[in-house]
Structure 1
């Protein structure tokens, strides 16, 4: 199975704002960013999966995929009470505590990285059992980082060492027994 994964385009959120599972607007450059992505995707997909947030569904539609499957397991990390707060306005000691154990420490009314990884790996374990040849996933940076961890089996504590840009595309081939064949970062 060949799987293409795209991070949504740039969001119109004040720099330094914590957001994950919040609806946020897209930048005015959305159509241009989507056009660039579309020009790099010359693939007929058997199925398209998206995070249910509008920053992902709008991209799917702009790319010409009116039929797509929303899957909550592809949602970004839930930052709970920190959602839409500026990082500078979150208690520094809370951020320090969380950053020391981001994998296990669940945010107030939110998730930890284990929660996110478990959602993503559940999605992937289900997906690779299917007989699709080409799949498109439109999602978020945290989910994409968890996909990398799933594929390469590296520790979750190292997730943020992987840069994932807005509108970035990568593809990989994987077999039903989770034997990875190829990974390509496109943009």
Structure 2
């Protein structure tokens, strides 16, 4: 059986309350400290590294696993927030946000994805990752929504 380590990116450089989904944000000045703390909890000898291509993930993967080839996977990107990308949550019109808040699992963000859309693409990638040869140590550097989707699948949470 594979050992798989799920790692969320460090703090993104974005104002609090902004919907940023797949926007390719840089990281904050606390990046090195956060990366060092994460590194303390990882074993040596990671065989494979998968990462979202967004820089807040890919940069962390490169820092944690120097010299290790990265498999940058678009399917590991955060939920696509469509028309809401880089807008403050408080500025979103009620008629747009209320249906999504009532059923984010099935309702798509205008011009974006629903949770089921995210789960479908993450599931495809997860199947590839878990299909690797047994006894491999694998790291996945991704986003909170992606990691929650993976954990929901593992635990059979509807």
TM-score, normalised on structure 2? 0.93
Does residue 134 of structure 1 match 2:142? no
Counterpart mapping for 1:53-92 below 5 A: 53-66=54-67, 67-92=69-94
Match of 1:40, SS? Answer: coil
Q: Quote how far apart the aligned CAs of 1:8 are.
A: 0.1
2:22: which partner in 1? 21
Cα deviations by residue, 1:94-148 (Å, 9 ceiling, x for unpaired):
2111111111111222111011001111112222222051100000000000011
- Asked if the contact 2:77/2:146 (under 8 Å) is kept, the reply is yes
Structure 1, gaps ≥5 residues long: 156-187
1:42: which partner in 2? 43
- Asked if the contact 1:48/1:65 (under 8 Å) is kept, the reply is no
> 2:44 and 2:98 mapped to 1: Cα distance?
43
1:117: which partner in 2? 119
> 1:104 and 1:86 mapped to 2: Cα distance?
22
Does residue 108 of structure 1 match 2:84? no
Q: Quote how far apart the aligned CAs of 1:60 are.
A: 1.2
Q: Quote how far apart the aligned CAs of 1:42 are.
A: 2.3
Q: CA RMSD in A?
A: 1.1
1:30: which partner in 2? 31
Match of 1:154 among 142, 152, 157: 157
Q: Quote how far apart the aligned CAs of 1:2 are.
A: 0.9
> 2:40 and 2:130 mapped to 1: Cα distance?
27
> 1:63 and 1:130 mapped to 2: Cα distance?
21
Q: Quote how far apart the aligned CAs of 1:18 are.
A: 0.3
Structure 2, gaps ≥5 residues long: none
Q: In the comparison of the two structures, how many residue pairs are matched?
A: 155
Counterpart mapping for 1:6-17 below 5 A: 6-17=7-18
Match of 1:58, SS? Answer: helix
